[in-house]
Amino acid sequence: MFAVLKKEINTFFASPIGYLVIAVFLVLNGLFLWVFKGEFNILDNGYADISSFFLLAPWILIFLVPAVTMRSFSDERKQGTLELLLTKPISHLQIVLGKYFGALVLVIIAIVPTLLYVYTVYQLGNPIGNLDVGSTLGSYFGLLFLVASYTAIGVFASSLSDNQIVAFIVAIFICFFFYFGFDGIANFNLFGNNLYFENLGMQSHFKSMSRGVLDTRDLIYFLSIAAFFIILTKLNIKSYKR
């Protein structure tokens, strides 16, 4: 598994892809949070609060994570190297986990520099340090678990086709549905228990963690989503071998 993980990370940074992903994520967030006028602009809000970043980041990551994961298995299938990889003396699960953690590490590397936003807002507070640290830490934990789920979905989508664009679009659709779809269904009030449908979506659990309280139900939810799509990916490549 570690050999696959190392290969994935080396592949990302041997080409412009890894650097481009990190740059795009940081530039987009920086523009919306500090330059463009609007509801996300921290300076316009007038409060020592970084909640705008945690409202914006999940939507940017819906596109960014699939861009990272779309080549995971699609590229292997297109080049005909997946069959060779499956003959290696490692299990299918180890192959999937190697691909998964390789993509996850890259996305986490892209998130780490955003801690500079926290430091900046911390210093801009009046008085200095007037920042809800608990809520901020909870939001970062929530973002990491959200990214873990997005990445699992993206790797699964990549295993469905040898076309990276198809994998990219499928991953965006599934991520969007799990993040916003259930909330959208609940808003239509088509069923009696709207709270049940909201709790099926990632947005509800991410907002819960953003309050600074780490509820085991939220952690189990995100881990279950990630595990579910990792298992689906394993089954998919197993059937491909046949």
pLDDT tens per residue across span 4-40: 888 888 888 787 877 888 898 999 998 988 888 878 8
- Token pair for 66: 């699939």
- Token pair for 191: 């069923």
C-beta atoms surrounding 129 within 10 Å:
10
Sign of torsion, CA 204 206 210 211?
positive
Q: How far apart are CA 98 and CA 103, in angstroms?
A: 9
Judge whether 73 and 237 are in contact, CB under 8 Å: yes
Contacts of 206 (CB under 8 A, 6+ apart): 58, 142, 143, 145, 146, 179, 218
Indicate the domain borders of the chain: 2-241
What confidence score (pLDDT) does residue 79 get? Answer: 82
Contacts of 10 (CB under 8 A, 6+ apart): none
Q: How confident is the model at residue 166 (pLDDT cuts 50, 70, 90)?
A: very high
How far, in Å, are 82, 130, 197 from residue 140 at the CA level?
Answer: 35, 18, 24
pLDDT tens per residue across span 168-215: 999 999 999 999 887 777 666 655 556 666 778 898 889 888 887 788
Judge whether 92 and 4 are in contact, CB under 8 Å: no
- Token pair for 91: 């299990």
Q: How far apart are CA 43 and CA 49, in angstroms?
A: 10
What confidence score (pLDDT) does residue 189 get? Answer: 65
Given a cut of 70, whether residue 120 has pLDDT beyond it is: yes
Which of 47-56, 77-86, 105-114 shows the lowest per-residue confidence on average (mean pLDDT)? Answer: 77-86
